[in-house]
Structure 1
Amino acid sequence: METINTFFSELSSYAWGLPLLILLIGGGLYLLISIRFLPFRYLGHAIAVLRGRYDNESDSGEISHFQALTTALSATVGMGNISGVAVAIFIGGPGAVFWMWVSAVIGMSTKFFTATLAILFRGKDSEGKIQGGPMYFITEGLGKKWKPLAVFFALSGLIGALPVFNVNQLTQAINDILLKPAGLYNGLWSNLIIGFSLVGITAVVILGGLSRISKTASKLVPAMVVLYFLMVVIVLGVHIDVVPYYFKLIFTDAFSASFYEGDSFLGGVLGGLILLGIKRGAFSNEAGIGTAPMAHGAAKTNEPVREGLVAMLGPAIDTLIICTLTALTILVTGVWQSSDANGVSLTATAFSEAIPTFGKYGLLLCIAVFSISSLFSYSYYGTKCMSFLFGAKHQGWYNYFYIISILIGATTTLSLMINLIDSFFAFMAVPTMVATLLLSPKVNREARSYFARLKKP
């Protein structure tokens, strides 16, 4: 196991090198500048689209704008927000949060482009059904000669879409918050029982297809976001005297890297801190990775720009709001310096400190719903990759592979799971960003045309 862990640790470090950082952040900045910040001026219109004002049942697609966003958010609003932020602060200190914010703002632009492309260049699977996602906008937008790039994305997606990190951290949360205090923890057997329970819950939903996944996500995600927000408000209220200090520290430490304890990058600790924030930001909101466009590509619309605008809201909700709430909870309670806990255990310690007795159980409820809803969405992404590679009639086989991976995630270490997913997220980002940059002029033209039509009475 140690050899496997070392291999994926080195693979993750290699995959997340300078070239990918330039591609994700430099590429995202290029997209932002090339469109002259235009989509950011229409966030109010994006909310109107999300609320169904422009819905048309005769448009192509399977699900509503709202269901597309909540399906995408159910994958991103999960352990990336609760455990991923804790990992970032544990290694990098408060400054890591600032670089997660930078990743989110740039990611909003990237999400606009990738989701617009997912509608603009929808393709058809082997059964003739309309599909969206990077593998389709690569082949439909760039041409068949680019298919190897699409295949590389889909192959990487088969592993990148596995739920092993979410399952690992949910298992750890149940053990630490529920079983160990009650004296019911029994090592591997406890992990297996949790794993098999998750297998049963997940199987019921994912075998019902996208319709059941999107309907479930659209009910679960908003309710848990509200509950999580209310709990964090209580924590911040208890520690209101130090909130301004730590909010300021996020900015000052972003450039001093005073608390950073990870590996250096580009010759220094500041480079390491920036890379850490970008990685955890990408894991949180998945901008540029290519998973969310598969959900947004199923939206019922004939206006690509509308779905791009809706998709932009994802990183804002996910990273700028939810990750910030988690970060402030960990910082103001002081557990990031007083506790040796990492990942979800660190977040649980923060809630227990501020809201004795009930805090950790409320967090466990949020973690469970966030994680389980993520299990549903990631399975959909994996089946889309399977369908592209091997034909639609074989896509169901992926669910069995996916279900087995839940047991693996429940019984292995955090470091192995996070390095595994980080590596394949990096591999998915390469074809997604390359194709998005090459096709960006077409998105710019489509956006200018749409916004010009929008201004007409």
Structure 2
Amino acid sequence: MWGYPLVILLVGGGLFFLISSGFTPFRFFFHAIDLVRGKYDNPDDPGDINHFEALSTALASTVGMGNISGVAVAIFMGGPGALFWMWMSAIVGMATKFFTCTLSIMYRGEDTQGKIQGGPMYVIREGLSSKWMPLAYLFAVAGLFGPLPIFQTNQLVQILRDFIYIPNGWVEADAAFTGNLITGIVLVALVSLVIFGGITKIGKVASKLVPSMVVIYFVSVLFILAVHIDDIPYYLGLIVTDAFTGKAVMGGAVGQLIIIGVQRAAFSNEAGIGTESLAHGASKTKEPVREGLVAMMEPAIDTLIVCTMTALAILVTGVWQTTEANGVTLTLNAFNEALPVWGTYLLLISVLTFSVSSMLSYSYYGSKCLGFLLGAERQHYYNYFYVLSIVFGAVASLDAVINLIDGMFALMAVPTMISALLLSPRVREASKDYFNRLKAGEFKEYKK
């Protein structure tokens, strides 16, 4: 499913959004920061969570294992050049998120309990004619599986098994399945404590977890880069040159390299996948454009900053050439090379917070999809399926987990991008109106 048609839909669609919007994501970036700071938050607006909590909820799922393991997988499969195409995907992804998340507020609909909801399936139902409804159902069905926390679980279990359990003699290498299973059960209990509280509780927990986990990870990676600061210019150049030669993948298959970069970027920042608009559709606002502006910051934070830092840490330490490791183990090797004593523990803290925060946010996405399919009164049943999948992720292979998630993300992207392209003229009209009112000073600032 991750062939050229889907890449063209995601990247080409994002490029169309970027140009047709007049590069709005870049021109109003500072206004987006004011929105996240709560400068214009009105507690009386409809919705469940404020702008910052919506951004944190979305980032809790995007700034996660895709930044630690996903980047490592990209370099393992495609070499340094894969990061360049992740950058390109993120730049156009900012425009994509602006459009999809503006639509998530513009076309919110009511569920069977009369509660306001957002997301691609509601955008299709409320904004397009009934002939497009099969796309809404396609998204909702794929959305039951795409947000499962199996990748996060798999990578967390991998680092615990390889660098904590086995070295300390807690489990034998040939009996690792038992350790994986026990870890999965413990994670089920931990995640259940939060996700059964709903989006309000998820948003509050995520808004506290995300800043702290990003700081810990940032400081660790910055130290690694400081140790190898002389090597950074060389590898930045290698990322660009390798992107057009594809030396590290399939004998120079640049097209395959582009697919790898776009695929891993989509897994990391989720631009165009649709999960982003599920989170932002719950935001407290009457101004759809505001949510689009807040959402567009995510690819910049997630891919252009966090993913780049991880990739450089892997490249400058040389572990991508000296080991056959993949996923989180490759990133861990980079940490241990620069931080021999503390590397394992610093990354373990980051992996734990990144994994758990992603698990908390993803549960909300799947439950909304089930609510759309079977009724809001039944959507809570999804949480039981969700937490049980944690056990599957703990014992399954990395390849099986990646294939399942990538496949479902591909299916989710199709209705998300098609509906956004069809409704893009309405986003441009709403944007023009909003920015004219902003320049006229019509918006009131709310003090907490």
Give the Cα–Cα distance (whole angstroms) in 1 for the partners of residues 44 and 131 of structure 2: 33
The alignment status of 1:193 with 2:188, answered yes or no, reads no
Residue pair 2:161, 2:176 contacting (<8 A) in 1 also: no
Describe the SS at the equivalent of 2:56: helix
Deviates more, 1:406-415 or 1:242-251: 242-251
Give the Cα–Cα distance (whole angstroms) in 1 for the partners of residues 34 and 278 of structure 2: 22
Give the Cα–Cα distance (whole angstroms) in 2 for the partners of residues 427 and 321 of structure 1: 27
**Aligned residue runs from structure 1 range 102-181, under 5 A:** 102-181=88-167
Give the Cα–Cα distance (whole angstroms) in 2 for the partners of residues 182 and 354 of structure 1: 22
Amino acid at match of 1:308: G
User: In structure 1, what is the equivalent of residue 291 of structure 2?
Assistant: 307
**Displacement of 1:181:** 1.7
The alignment status of 1:53 with 2:42, answered yes or no, reads no
The alignment status of 1:203 with 2:192, answered yes or no, reads yes
Amino acid at match of 1:403: V
Amino acid at match of 1:379: S
Among 230, 237, 240, the alignment partner of 2:226 is 237
Describe the SS at the equivalent of 1:395: helix
User: In structure 2, what is the equivalent of residue 212 of structure 1?
Assistant: 201
**Displacement of 1:257:** 1.1
Amino acid at match of 2:374: F
Please give the TM-score of this superposition, normalised by the length of structure 1.
0.95
**Partner deviation per Cα, 1:404-424 (whole Å, 9 max, x = no partner):** 110000001001100110001
**Partner deviation per Cα, 1:310-363 (whole Å, 9 max, x = no partner):** 000001000000000100000000000001110000000100110011111111
Over the matched positions of the two proteins, sequence identity in percent amounts to: 60
Give the Cα–Cα distance (whole angstroms) in 2 for the partners of residues 269 and 403 of structure 1: 40
Give the Cα–Cα distance (whole angstroms) in 2 for the partners of residues 38 and 428 of structure 1: 25
Deviates more, 1:279-288 or 1:232-241: 232-241
Task: Please tell me the root mean square deviation across aligned C-alpha atoms, in Å.
Answer: 0.9
Among 49, 55, 70, the alignment partner of 1:69 is 55
**Displacement of 1:145:** 3.0
Describe the SS at the equivalent of 1:158: coil
Amino acid at match of 1:383: S
Describe the SS at the equivalent of 2:230: coil
**Displacement of 1:134:** 0.3
**Displacement of 1:260:** 1.8
Residue pair 1:177, 1:364 contacting (<8 A) in 2 also: no
User: In structure 1, what is the equivalent of residue 210 of structure 2?
Assistant: 221
**Displacement of 1:39:** 3.0
Amino acid at match of 2:190: I
Among 335, 354, 377, the alignment partner of 2:319 is 335
Give the Cα–Cα distance (whole angstroms) in 1 for the partners of residues 297 and 14 of structure 2: 16
The alignment status of 1:446 with 2:393, answered yes or no, reads no
The alignment status of 1:44 with 2:30, answered yes or no, reads yes
**Partner deviation per Cα, 1:273-303 (whole Å, 9 max, x = no partner):** 0100000000000000000101100000000
Describe the SS at the equivalent of 1:66: helix
Give the Cα–Cα distance (whole angstroms) in 1 for the partners of residues 241 and 177 of structure 2: 43
Amino acid at match of 1:201: L
Residue pair 1:123, 1:136 contacting (<8 A) in 2 also: yes
Amino acid at match of 2:428: N
**Displacement of 1:368:** 0.5
Among 47, 52, 69, the alignment partner of 1:83 is 69
User: In structure 2, what is the equivalent of residue 4 of structure 1?
Assistant: none
**Displacement of 1:133:** 0.4
Aligned residues, how many? 438
Give the Cα–Cα distance (whole angstroms) in 2 for the partners of residues 39 and 289 of structure 1: 18
Gaps of 5+ in 1: 1-14
Residue pair 1:177, 1:348 contacting (<8 A) in 2 also: no
**Displacement of 1:443:** 0.2
Give the Cα–Cα distance (whole angstroms) in 2 for the partners of residues 314 and 243 of structure 1: 25
**Aligned residue runs from structure 1 range 273-292, under 5 A:** 273-292=257-276
Give the Cα–Cα distance (whole angstroms) in 2 for the partners of residues 369 and 456 of structure 1: 43
Give the Cα–Cα distance (whole angstroms) in 2 for the partners of residues 17 and 270 of structure 1: 13
Residue pair 2:47, 2:283 contacting (<8 A) in 1 also: yes
Give the Cα–Cα distance (whole angstroms) in 1 for the partners of residues 239 and 170 of structure 2: 39
Amino acid at match of 1:24: L
User: In structure 1, what is the equivalent of residue 347 of structure 2?
Assistant: 363
User: In structure 1, what is the equivalent of residue 87 of structure 2?
Assistant: 101
Describe the SS at the equivalent of 2:229: coil
User: In structure 1, what is the equivalent of residue 17 of structure 2?
Assistant: 31
Give the Cα–Cα distance (whole angstroms) in 2 for the partners of residues 40 and 435 of structure 1: 23
Residue pair 1:110, 1:288 contacting (<8 A) in 2 also: yes
Among 237, 251, 259, the alignment partner of 2:248 is 259
Give the Cα–Cα distance (whole angstroms) in 2 for the partners of residues 17 and 275 of structure 1: 7
Residue pair 1:177, 1:361 contacting (<8 A) in 2 also: no
Give the Cα–Cα distance (whole angstroms) in 2 for the partners of residues 324 and 179 of structure 1: 30
Amino acid at match of 1:27: G
User: In structure 1, what is the equivalent of residue 445 of structure 2?
Assistant: none
**Displacement of 1:35:** 1.1
Give the Cα–Cα distance (whole angstroms) in 2 for the partners of residues 352 and 175 of structure 1: 16
